[in-house]
Amino acid sequence: MKARVTVMLKPGVLDVQGEAVRHALGGLGFAGVNGVRQGKVIELDLAESDRAKAEAAVTAMCEKLLANTVIESYRIELL
């Protein structure tokens, strides 16, 4: 089973990289971009075939390593 984890900074946390991208887009002539939030996508290939167990394992991975839950939120998709 495959899992996709999307990690983003929580609302209200300053996204310095996102602001740099927004500024660069404006400099390249892409007007009208009022905000950019940058995150990361992690794809996992899991041996687990039970969806509930896979989701529980990926949630544990996110809580322990993949996301800094103080400033980041995450979303799990089982594929």
Top-level CATH class of 2-78?
alpha beta
Q: What is the 3-state secondary structure (H, E, C) of 7-53?
A: EEECCCCCCHHHHHHHHHHHHCCCCCCCCCCCEEEEEEECCCCCHHH
Find how far residue 34's CA is from the centre of its chain: 20
Residue 32, pLDDT score? 93
Q: What is the mean pLDDT of residues 4-25?
A: 97
The rounded distance, in Å, linking the Cα atoms of 54 and 41 is 17
Question: Residue ranges of the domains in the chain?
Answer: 2-78
Mean pLDDT for the stretch of residues 13-20: 96
Q: What integer best gives the mean pLDDT of the chain?
A: 97
